[in-house]
Amino acid sequence: MAAMAAASPKTLITVAPTGAETAKDAFPALPTSLEELVESAVRCEAAGAAMIHLHIRDAEHRPTLEPSRLAEAVAAVRAATSLVVQLSTGGSVHDPLEDRLKVLDADPDSCSLTTGTTNFGDDVFLNPWPFVCELYQLSQERSVVPEFELFDLGHVAALHRLLDTYGLPFGGRVHCDFVLGVPGGMPGTPDALLAGVAALPDAVTSWSATGIGRTALPVAFTALGKGGHVRVGMEDTLTLAKGVPVSHNEELVRRAAQLAELAQRPAMTPDESRELLQVKAR
Ligand code: KMH
Ligand code: ZN
């Protein structure tokens, strides 16, 4: 059991504003340009976010891992906010593994790191074990704090294996994020989240959770009640309620901050989240 992970008096709210799955045409409010991304980051920080999980897009709004664009996005978000900057190494389901390893060249504070392969709707989100090991060791070498993304109970088992084999991440803290409700992964239910939390390695010091689509609220309520943190954003959720589209990521962050306040675990500041995650001092 993850004894340390249950104790946090405050809530780390991560915003995942864009993702790689939604098309700009289908959802024009999705922030895809650098300007939109920075504008979202600023407003989400003001609403209570402390970390941003970034995917970027090209000039045609398509997902890209182009190194100079990644570096530019990291620099622009750092210049405009104090948010902890986490780059996605998951990219889109079409990104080659070699390109996903190069994401760390952009020198983020944190990177997502999914510990296993999962079906992802009609596609496959590929994370073969040798890739997971290489990415993890690279994060240790580059002093980047990984956030272990757990889509399935098997990914929790793989996290045990990873930590047993390669030791603790840079900074010594172990932070995870359950991503529930992807078609192919664990369902977005309180029971599934609680099963995942019960299976975490002892070394885990904090965990958060996000529920895709309409599972966002039950997952957030469960995470807050169980001492976890929350991730919200248009990467995962495009409606506030049935028939009510999200018009800005800020709405989802504000709602999460209100829930955290009600749970008497108010939102952490970016500085508090740096302390929690032990990201590299800058
Ligand atoms: N876009 C998904 C295939 C991550 O950012 O690390 C993978 C994903 C996970 O979003
Ligand atoms: Zn992502």
Q: Is the CB of 112 under 6 A from ligand 1?
A: yes
Domain ranges of the chain: 10-277
Axis crossing angle, helix 249-262 with helix 216-225, rounded to the nearest 10: 30
Q: Is the CB of 90 under 6 A from ligand 1?
A: yes
Residues 265 and 262: their CA atoms lie apart, in Å, by 7
8 close to 246: Cβ distance less than 8 angstroms: no
Residues 146 and 141: their CA atoms lie apart, in Å, by 12
Count of positions (residues) in the chain: 282
106 close to 70: Cβ distance less than 8 angstroms: yes
pTM beyond 0.95: yes
Q: How far is the CA of 25 from the centre of ligand 2 (A)?
A: 19
Per-residue pLDDT tens digits for 114-131? 999 999 999 999 999 999
Pick the CATH number of 10-277 from 3.20.20.70, 3.40.50.2000, 1.10.287.130, 3.40.50.620: 3.20.20.70
The pLDDT value given to residue 3 = 44
Q: Of 87, 88, 152, which is best to mutate to test ligand 1, by the most ligand atoms within 8 angstroms of its C-beta?
A: 88
Residues 88 and 147: their CA atoms lie apart, in Å, by 10
Can you list the alpha helix ranges (DSSP code H) found in 167-248?
190-198, 216-225
Q: How far is the CA of 20 from the centre of ligand 1 (A)?
A: 7
Q: Is the CB of 125 under 6 A from ligand 1?
A: yes
Atom of ligand 1 nearest to the CA of 120: 3
- What percentage of the chain has pLDDT greater than the value 70? 98
The pLDDT value given to residue 212 = 98
* Number of the ligand closest to the Cα of 91: 1
Tell me whether strands 110-114 and 145-150 are parallel, antiparallel or unpaired.
parallel
Per-residue pLDDT tens digits for 1-47? 444 455 589 999 999 999 999 999 999 999 999 999 999 999 999 99
Residues 267 and 83: their CA atoms lie apart, in Å, by 13
205 close to 6: Cβ distance less than 8 angstroms: no
Residues 79 and 176: their CA atoms lie apart, in Å, by 26
Q: Is the CB of 88 under 6 A from ligand 1?
A: yes
**∠44-215-260 over CA atoms, to 5°?**
45
- What percentage of the chain has pLDDT greater than the value 90? 97
The pLDDT value given to residue 8 = 80
Tens of each residue's pLDDT in the chain, 282 residues: 444 455 589 999 999 999 999 999 999 999 999 999 999 999 999 999 999 999 999 999 999 999 999 999 999 999 999 999 999 999 999 999 999 999 999 999 999 999 999 999 999 999 999 999 999 999 999 999 999 999 999 999 999 999 999 999 999 999 999 999 999 999 999 999 999 999 999 999 999 999 999 999 999 999 999 999 999 999 999 999 999 999 999 999 999 999 999 999 999 999 999 999 999 998
